[in-house]
Amino acid sequence: MEHKLISAAAVRDLCGGISDMTLWRWLNDPELDFPKPVYIGKRRYWREADMGEWLQARAAEAV
C-alpha cells in the first residue's frame, strides 16, 4: 500500500474537503511542508503513505 497513488480529489477529501485553491496554497507554503505530487501527464497524484505521514504529523502538532 506504500506505493498507492491517490488523486487530487481524494487528497482534498482526505484533508477535510478542502478546495483546489486551498490545496494549491498548501503546496506553495514552505512552512506546511505539504507532500509534493507526482505528475502523470498533466494529472497530479500523491503517494498515500506520504499523505498519511503528513496528516499524522499535523495531528501530533495539534495535541
End-to-end CA distance of the chain: 27
Comparing CA positions, the residue from 36, 28, 35 lying closest to residue 55 is: 35
What residue ranges do the domains of the chain occupy? Answer: 5-62
| Whole-number pLDDT of residue 62 | 80
**61 — pLDDT class (breaks 50, 70, 90):** confident
In this prediction the pTM is 0.88
Task: Give the pLDDT score at 2.
Answer: 58
Q: What is the pLDDT averaged over residues 34-46?
A: 97
